[in-house]
Amino acid sequence: MQQWISKLSEAEVGSVLPNEPMAKYTTWKIGGPADAVIVPENVQQLQHLIRYLHEEKIPWMPVGKGSNMLVSDKGIRGAVIRFGKGLEQVQFSGTEVEAGGGASFVSLSIMAGKKGLTGMEFASGIPGTVGGAVYMNAGAHGSDVSRIFKSAEIVLDTGELVNYNADQMEFAYRHSVLHERSGIVVNAVFQLIEGDRSAIAASMAAYKDRRRQTQPLQQPCAGSVFRNPPGDHAARLIEAAGLKGYRQGGAQVSEMHANFIVNTGQATAEDVLTLMHHIQTVVASKFEVKLIPEVFCVGER
């Protein structure tokens, strides 16, 4: 075991899991081992952990539900941080909701709907954490995090705890300031409005039915693989290029939704990357459109 992992195992930073397979933590069910997966239970443990990693110059990255991530077959060098139960708390106050970075974004939207609060219906099909959703400015059905975001507590890569408002987050399409300024969201506050419970439930049920009919949710996948180009849809371009059902090893362009790549059972990260490159090449050749990945490709190559 590497020395830094041994030291962290003896420190107050939460659970330390050395040489942990990342396939356990991604919705694609793909990924080699991380040097260590560390699970802090509160902000203090997280700050202590981040300070140590910063001082020792050990690379680290947060992983929530792994729903927007492809981990390489060789795994991840350094530390992977996953939040424990202590960082999943949720509290409602009037029309505001405060949630820990590790809380499920889907569950939060369901809770809000049951309380008659509208604004989070779009989140009912986004299978990530609150922290990941803020980081990505996650969105669907014409809305996104920036529409409801009020503030967030963030532990920066120095271990400092800061509070950012919406302007400081610099939200854009599937983007926030955290893409440039390394940090991890430990808590976020969202501003909702009062609505009709039955209307909210009906809207969320309609979204759920649409996903069930159009997305391959029974197979390991990572949601939309490419961003939608301005004025168009990646799925339309991929399907028009004749790539629906196209396979590379164990990875396949979904027959249900062309912007999803599914793991048919034994897919490797290299299979997925090769397939993604092929899709980009064919679409660029046929339509002169460059498809930009929406998923993050991480780990040792």
Contact residues for 281 (Cβ-Cβ < 8 A; gap 6+): none
294 catalytic? Reply is yes
224 catalytic? Reply is yes
How many Å apart are CA 26 and CA 66, to the nearest integer?
A: 4
DSSP E strands, 141-248:
143-144, 149-156, 161-165, 183-191, 193-194, 247-248
Q: 3-state SS of 129-147?
A: EHHHHHHHCCEECCEEHHH
Are residues 182 and 157 in contact, defined by beta-carbon separation less than 8 angstroms? yes
- What are the distances in angstroms from CA 183 to CA 62, 143, 295? 9, 24, 19
> One-letter amino acid identity for 177?
V
Q: What would the two tokens of residue 96 be?
A: 């505001």
Q: Catalytic: which of 146, 203, 224, 254? A: 224
Query: DSSP letters along 36-99, please?
Result: EEEE--SHHHHHHHHHHHHHTT--EEE-SS-TTEEE-TT-EEEEEE---GGG--EEEETTEEEE
How many Å apart are CA 200 and CA 225, to the nearest integer?
A: 28
Q: What would the two tokens of residue 33 be?
A: 């081992």
- CA angle 32–37–42, rounded 5-degree value: 155
Residue 142: other Cβ atoms inside 10 A: 7
Q: Which helix (H) or strand (E) holds 5?
A: helix 3-10
Q: Catalytic: which of 72, 82, 151, 174? A: 174
Are residues 83 and 66 in contact, defined by beta-carbon separation less than 8 angstroms? no
List active site positions: 174, 224, 294
